[in-house]
Amino acid sequence: MPHEVRAVVATKKGAPVEVQTILVPDPGPGEVLVSVQACGVCHTDLHYREGAVGDDFPFLLGHEAAGVVEEVGPGVTDLLPGDYVVLAWRAPCGACRSCRRGRPWYCFDSRNAAQPMTLLEGTSRTKSGGGTPLTAALGIGAFAEKTLVAAGQAVKVDPAARPEAAGLIGCGVMAGYGAAVHTGGVGNGDTVAVIGCGGVGNAAVAGASVAGARRVIAVDIDDRKLDGATRFGATHTVNSRGTDPVEAVRQLTGGHGADVVIDAVGRPDTYRQAFEMRDLAGTLVLVGVPEPDMRLDLPLIEVFSRGGALKSSWYGDCLPSRDFPVLIDRYLSGRLDLEGFVTERISLDEVESAFDAMRAGRVLRSVVVL
C-alpha cells in the first residue's frame, strides 16, 4: 500500500519549492523503500528548481542522503530491512558497453526505480492511485520522509556514521574527493591546486591531502572559504580577487605549476586559469558544472605543447559500492572530516531558505534532518 509522506517539490521553473504530501509506492522488483534520516542541500537541487537540468516538472528534490532500508522488493538479495545505507545516483547496470569493458564508474545506463512517486492529488491518475508523477532528482528524490530507489542505489555503510555526515558522500563529497583521487590520480608527493572552495572543492582538497599530496593550494575569492579549506588539508591559500592565481601557484611550486589542478567552479575563466597553472605534463580536472551556454577558447598549440591530460570528472569517477564504505571508514577513523562540511541542520520546511544561503555563499552544506 502506498506511503503518504511529506516531501519538497519544485512545481515549476524558478518558483519557490513547496512541502507537499506525496505517495511513495511499495517496492517492486529490484527496488527498495528507504526511510530518509538526512539529506544535504546540493547545488544540483537548485539547478533542478531553476529548470537548468530539464523541464520535467514537478521535481521531487534531494539526492545526497543517508537512511535505513524499510522494505525490499522481489529479487533483492543483498539488502535487508534495517540496513543503514547511503544513496547513490549511479547504480551500474552491469550490461552496458562501459560496464562490459570493466569501467562501471562510467555506466551509461544507471539503474533507477521503475515506479514513479506521485503527488497525493493531481489531474493525472496513476495505477497506484496517486496524482501527477514526480521526476526524482538524479533518480533519488530524498527531500522526503521516505523514498523509492533501485536496490543498486542503496549502498550499505557502517551504521556508526552520523546520517547528516554520511549522506554527503552520496554526491558532493564523493564528487570532489574522487576528482582528486580517481580522476586526477593524485599521489604521494604531488602538488595540487584546487580552484573554488565550496563543498566539492573542499572535498577535493581533502582527497588530495589523504592521497599524500605534498602541497595542496586552495584558490578562491572569499577569505572565509579559504580559511575553511585549511581545515580539510590545504597547505597554502590564494585569494584570486586581488592576486593573479596562476602566478601565485607557480611561485608556490618552484616556478613550475601544479601536478594536478582541479577546477571546482566550472567557468571558462577558471578553466583557463587551471590550464595555465599546470606543470608541463600536468593534469587538469574539471568537476565544477558549467552552464549549458558556456564556451571555451584555448590556443591549440598550448594544448599540444603543454602535454598532460585535460579530464572531466563525473561523480568523482566513483564506484559507490566500492568507495562509499571506504570514505565512511576514513570518517570514522578521523582521517576524513565529514562533520566539517555540515554548516547547519534544517527541516524540510527550510529548504528554500537554504537555497538563499547557498547563493550567498554562507554555507558549505545545509542538511535536512528528518
Give the bridge partners for 261, in sequence order. Answer: 193, 284
Q: Which of 3, 70, 90, 107 is catalytic?
A: 107
- How far is residue 355 from each of residues 46, 66, 69, measured CA to CA in Å? 7, 20, 28
Out of 3, 39, 164, 171, the active site residue is 171
From 11, 47, 71, 93, active-site residue: 93
Mark whether 43 is an active-site residue: yes
Q: Please confirm, yes or no, whether 99 is among the known catalytic residues.
A: yes
Which one from 99, 183, 318, 343 is the annotated catalytic residue?
99
197 is catalytic: no
Residue 365 bears catalytic tag = yes
Active-site residue flag, 107: yes
Q: The cell 587538469 sits on which residue? A: 284
Residue of 111, 182, 236, 250 marked catalytic: 111
**Which one of 6, 18, 96, 214 is the catalytic residue?**
96
Task: Note if the bond before 58 is cis, omega within 30 degrees.
Answer: yes
Please report, for residues 191, 237, 265, 327, the alpha-carbon distance to residue 246 in angstroms, rounded to integers and kept in the order given: 14, 13, 15, 31
CB 311 within 8 A of CB 283: yes
Active-site residue, selected from the candidate residues 42, 49, 164, 253: 42
- For every residue of 220-285, DSSP letters joined together read ES-HHHHHHHHHTT-SEEEETTTS-HHHHHHHHTTTS-EEEEEESS--HHHHHHHHHTEEEEEEEE
The DSSP line for 304-362 is HHH-SEEEE-SGGG--HHHHHHHHHHHHHTTSS-GGGGEEEEE-GGGHHHHHHHHHTT-
Catalytic residue among 3, 31, 39, 43: 43
318 carries an active-site annotation: no
Residues recognised as catalytic: 42-44, 63-64, 93, 96, 99, 107, 111, 171, 365
